[in-house]
Structure 1
Amino acid sequence: MLKQLGETFSRASAAYAEMHRIERDRDWFILKMQEELGELTQVWNKLTGRGRLKGQSEAELHRALADETADLLGHVLLFAEENNIDLAAAVERKWKFRPSCGTPP
């Protein structure tokens, strides 16, 4: 499940990079993950009263929170793909459940 999702994100990211002439070297993957975490943190700060709203409504901020969370997930999966990380095995080892079924082993 995670492997397939990572491959799907990888295809989408490669197409986007090609369209916008972005070079995705090894550092790009971790730097993008950090960038997306920063953007998620920025939205969180606004939602929790630690940042300026800049005219955004609470509904807009909740949507931005979801969007930035999706971006971060995508970049975590891209990082794993690029570095041949078996996330399903790591989740099972660290979190004690199989991501394919969501139940404890």
Structure 2
Amino acid sequence: MVGVPESHSGWTFITSHARVLAAIADNPHIRIRDIAARCRLTERAVSRIISDLEQAGYLSHTREGRTNTYRVEPDKVLRHPAEAGLPVASLLSLLVQDETERTRKPVAP
């Protein structure tokens, strides 16, 4: 079982909501426990964020046995007026690695 991640002080460029959404976009079958570890959040915080994202229409899920399958709504526009008109897909293109990028080995100098 994964413990509570160490705390972080200071500001960051990416919000916890964006990190959770990116983790789900990267793997629609990901478990809350794994999202928490990847995003360095508690499972409770991840559950709350998923609920926020679902209520706002950015995310939905279907239950398959004991697991959830998530669906990100890529055409939903971002909420802040400074990003007016930008779809979620624009944000995710910055945060989610393409499969080819993930499996590519670094080139030696």
TM-score with structure 1 setting the length: 0.25
Higher strand share: 2
Bigger RCO of structures 1 and 2 (CA < 8 A, at least 6 apart): 1
Higher helix share: 1
Q: Which has the larger radius of gyration?
A: 1
